Amino acid sequence: MKHILVVDDEKNMCTALSILLENDGFAVESVSDGKDAIDLLLEGKIFDLIISDLKMPGVDGIELLNYLQEKKYNIPLILITAYGSIEGAVEAMKLGATDFITKPFNKDIIRNTVHRLFRIEELEEENRELKKAIRVGKLVYRSNGMAKIMDTVKKVAPYKSPVLLLGESGSGKGIIAENLHEDKDKPFIKVHCPAIPETLIESELFGYRKGAFTGADKDFRGKIRMAEGGTLFLDEIGDLPQQVQPKLLRMLEEKTFEPLGSTTSCFVNTRIICATNRDIESLAATGAFRQDLFYRINTITITVPPLRDRKDDILPLSEYFLELFGKEMGKGAIFLDPDAQSALLEYAWPGNIRELKNVIERAVVLCRNKRISPPDLPLRPPPSSEEVPKGTLAATEQSLLVEALSACNNNITQAAKRLGISRSTMRYRMSKYNLRTG
């Protein structure tokens, strides 16, 4: 909760501002002059914002501003005065005031000014945090889980040992495979196993001699030899046909194989990295995948967590994709507003990074200005309240939202305060379960 100090010698103004801001979910304290404000600061009170009248007996708003600057208090100050002018506003801003409002004013002016200030601060804080994110090529992360994975990648990358990458579809296994391929001067060949028909995958991997079968009108080296000295990435290895598995096992163990239609062995120095979104250990236990091949390819196993379990990576990845598509589409720098950030963080991302990339691309296409808001995000529609299964975490969350709204007479701000979440998060979660206040 943000804490605001109101400084004004008019008691009615202090009362009016306190009520207005408290209704928006802020904690408000008020004093009648600048000296009392300074005393509170000296007592150790912490405020996120000070709203002060410019003209007051004793220590006025400018003197309070000078004190904050002198003592290096990093507290934004909004000055209010009935004697405002363009010159006064410019002078106050030069001295370090965050904003300047003249009396009389509409209550929405104060509300909008305060909310805008805090939103800008939140965005700046997010940007500072995003700068701490690590970029390695196309890999962007900030989570501890990914940091540990990359520590393993750095240790394993220099060696030829096989690596097995496990994780849901779209979680980034392919990007990690590229990072395991350390020598960029050597080839990196990717084979998506399910995309190749069973009748063709052996010839695609191991190659063939001219005349080996109908249509083989010339020699073909095969993907394994194309990756000689480098890396062969077998994506979705769990879908590799069983009739090809013994030949791959032999190649891994002996570094040798014969192309189709040839009796001459080929020796290769190709590293194999495999990935799958299936429970390949269970497949091996039931005989659906060769156990000996499974034991050979999982010399080093790296499990990539889904995006919903590494929420610290969502916003850095979003910023990366915003930058990428902003440049591609000639739109320049594009930003996510705080509500859009909350929506991205709350979403479950069943399609992982691949889905996030598509969502950001579409948002960049649709946004009309430089800032993306929730309506620009094509997230999958949440289930309606009738579809939430009883006894689930979702049902518990929905029940808590309903109870909080009921206890606060459908006041969203107070309900959010009761639950200890922001108003924007409260609104997003209400939308998630199709909850309405009337």
- Looking up residue 272, the CATH number of its domain turns out to be 3.40.50.300
Contact 141, 133 (CB under 8 A): yes
pLDDT digit string, tens, across residues 359-380: 999 999 988 788 898 888 878 6
Question: Considering only 105-109, 137-141, 223-227, 230-234, which range has the smallest mean pLDDT?
Answer: 105-109
pLDDT tens column, 151-181: 999 999 999 999 999 999 999 999 999 999 9
Same-domain pairing of 106 and 170: no
* Residue 99 resides in a domain: yes
14 is written with which tokens?
Answer: 């202090």
Does residue 336 have a pLDDT over 80?
yes
Global pTM value:
0.60
Structure tokens at 386: 């009738």
Segment 190-240, tens digit of pLDDT: 999 999 988 899 999 999 999 888 888 899 999 999 999 999 999 999 999
**Those residues with Cβ within 8 angstroms of residue 210's Cβ, 6 or more apart along the chain or in another chain:** 216, 217, 218, 219, 261
Residues 6+ apart with CB under 8 A from 127: none
- Residues 125 and 151 grouped into a single domain: no
Who has greater pLDDT, 35 or 95? 35
301-334: string of b/e by CB count within 10 Å (b at 16+)? ebebbbbeebebbbbbbbbbbbeebbeeeeeeeb
pLDDT at 171 (0 to 100): 94
Residue 388 has pLDDT above 70, yes or no: no
Q: Do 151 and 246 have their domain in common?
A: yes
**163 close to 156: Cβ distance less than 8 angstroms:** yes
Burial label, 136 (beta-carbon count in 10 A; 0-12, 13-18, 19+): middle
pLDDT bin (cut points 50, 70, 90) of residue 290 is: very high
**What is the per-residue pLDDT across 19-33, written as a single tens digit (0 to 9) for each?**
999 999 999 999 999
What confidence score (pLDDT) does residue 383 get?
47
Are residue 252 and residue 364 in the same domain, yes or no?
no
For residues 185 and 246, membership in a common domain is answered with yes
CATH code for the domain of 41: 3.40.50.2300
Same-domain status, 175 and 295? yes
CA 306 to chain centre: 12
For the chain, give the percent of residues with pLDDT over 90.
54
Residue 328 belongs to some domain of the structure: yes
CATH code of residue 414: 1.10.10
Q: Establish if 137 belongs to a structural domain.
A: no
**Exposed (0-12), middle (13-18) or buried (19+): which is 435, by Cβ within 10 Å?**
middle
Residue type at 184 in one-letter notation:
K
Work out the mean pLDDT of the chain and round it to a whole number.
Answer: 87
Tell which of 104, 130, 156 closes a domain: 130
Average pLDDT of the segment spanning 232-249: 94
Pair 148, 94 in one domain: no
If asked whether residues 204 and 278 sit together in one domain, one would say yes
Please name the residue that has the structure tokens 């004004």: 8
Range of the domain at 176: 142-305
DSSP state of 279: -
Q: Which residue has the higher pLDDT, 83 or 219?
A: 219
Identity of the amino acid at 403 = E
d(CA 364, CA 354): 16
Looking at the domain assignment, is residue 334 inside a domain? yes
When pLDDT is cut at 50, 70 and 90, the band that residue 90 belongs to is low
Beta carbons within 10 angstroms of residue 139's beta carbon: 19
Number of domains in the chain: 4
Asked if the structure places residue 135 within a domain, the reply is no
Residues in contact with 239: Cβ distance below 8 Å, sequence separation at least 6, in sequence order: 193, 194, 276, 278
Backbone angle region of 133, left / alpha / beta, with phi > 0 → left and psi within -120 to 50 → alpha: beta
Does residue 329 form part of some domain? Answer: yes
pLDDT in tens, 58-76: 898 899 999 998 988 889 9
CATH number of the domain residue 353 falls in: 1.10.8.60
Q: What is the rounded average pLDDT of the residues 264-291? A: 93
User: Measuring CA to CA, which residue among 156, 157, 164 is closest to residue 238?
Assistant: 164
pLDDT at 384 over 50: no
Residue 26 and residue 169 in one domain: no
Question: What confidence score (pLDDT) does residue 386 get?
Answer: 46
CA gap 401, 415 in Å, rounded? 8
**Would the pLDDT of 410 be above 60?**
yes
For residue 260, the 8-state DSSP code is B
In this prediction, residue 84 carries a pLDDT of 55
Domain boundary, last residue among 77, 103, 130? 130
Residue 116 counted as domain residue: yes
pLDDT attached to residue 86: 56
pLDDT on residue 40? 94
Are 288 and 188 contained in the same domain? yes
DSSP 199-258: HHHHHHHH-B-TTSSTT--S-B--HHHHTTTSEEEEETGGGS-GGGHHHHHHHHHHSEE-
CA atoms within 13 A on the CB side of 213: 9
| Of the candidate ranges 5-9, 34-38, 256-260, 384-388, the one whose mean pLDDT is the lowest | 384-388
Residue 323: the pLDDT is: 92
Query: Which whole number is the average pLDDT over 296-304?
Result: 95
pLDDT for 150 beyond 60: yes
pLDDT at 317: 95
> To 10 degrees, what angle do helices 423-432 and 393-407 make?
120
Q: What residue type is 260 in one-letter code? A: L
- Which helix (H) or strand (E) covers residue 301, if one does? strand 300-303
Residue 295 and residue 262 share a domain? yes
Q: How far is CA 369 from CA 302, 366, 375, 396, in A?
A: 41, 9, 13, 38
Residues 326 and 252 placed together within one structural domain of the fold: no
pLDDT of 85 above 70 = no
Of 280, 305, 330, the one marking the end of a domain is 305
